[in-house]
Amino acid sequence: MADQKKKKLTPVQQEYQQLAKTHEPRQPLLRNFTRAFLVGGGICMIGQGIQEMFIHYFDFTEKTAGNPTVAVLILLSALLTGLGLYDRIAQWAGAGTSVPVTGFANSIASAAIEHRSEGFVLGVGGNMFKLAGSVIVFGVAAAFVIGLIKTLFTMGG
C-alpha cells in the first residue's frame, strides 16, 4: 500500500536521486554517539549528585529522594530552556539531551515559550502539552505492556 502512494520517479529523477546520495555528507556517527553518551551520562551524574545531596543533607532515603531529584532536574531543564542554553546543549549533544526527563521538560517549556504571545490560557496552556502528549500516551502504553508482561511472567512461575 505504501508503494501505491509513492510517486513514480522518472529515469531522470532516479538518476538525480542517485547523484544526490553520492554527494550527501557522511554522518559522523561515532562523534554523535560519544557526545550523546557524554551529555546524557552527565545529566544522569548531575541527577545522582542531587539525589546524594537530598540523602546526606536532608535525611531522605534512597527511595524518597527520587521524586525531589526529578523535580529539581525538571526545574533546571526548564530554567536552561528559558535562558536559551538547553537548545544550544541539545544541538551539540543530540539525543543525549532528549532521553532523560530533562528532554521531556525541555519540550514542554519550549512549547510554552513559543506560544506565550497568544496568552496564558489559549497559548501556553493550550499548546504546552501538544508535543509532550504523544510522549505521555506512548509512555503509559509502554508501561502497561511491560507491566502486563511482568505479571504474566510472575504468574507463570
Q: In the chain, where are the structural domains located? A: 37-156
Nearest to 133 by CA among 156, 154, 104: 104
Nearest to 44 by CA among 92, 107, 121, 97: 97
Quote the pTM value: 0.70
Q: Spell out the per-residue pLDDT of the chain, length 157, in tens.
A: 445 456 788 999 888 988 888 888 888 999 999 999 999 999 999 999 999 999 999 999 999 999 999 999 999 999 999 999 999 999 999 889 987 789 888 888 888 888 878 887 777 777 777 777 777 788 899 999 999 999 999 997 6
Return d(Cα 55, Cα 131) in angstroms, integer: 34
Return d(Cα 125, Cα 48) in angstroms, integer: 32
The angle at the Cα of 34, spanning 31 to 36, to the nearest 5 degrees, equals 110
What pLDDT sits at residue 2?
47
Torsion on CA atoms 89, 95, 101, 106, rounded to nearest 10: 50
What pLDDT sits at residue 6?
63
Cell of 114: 513559543
What pLDDT sits at residue 125?
78
Cell of 21: 546520495
What pLDDT sits at residue 55?
97
Q: Are 66 and 47 in contact (CB under 8 A)?
A: no
Return d(Cα 130, Cα 75) in angstroms, integer: 20
Q: Are 105 and 78 in contact (CB under 8 A)?
A: yes
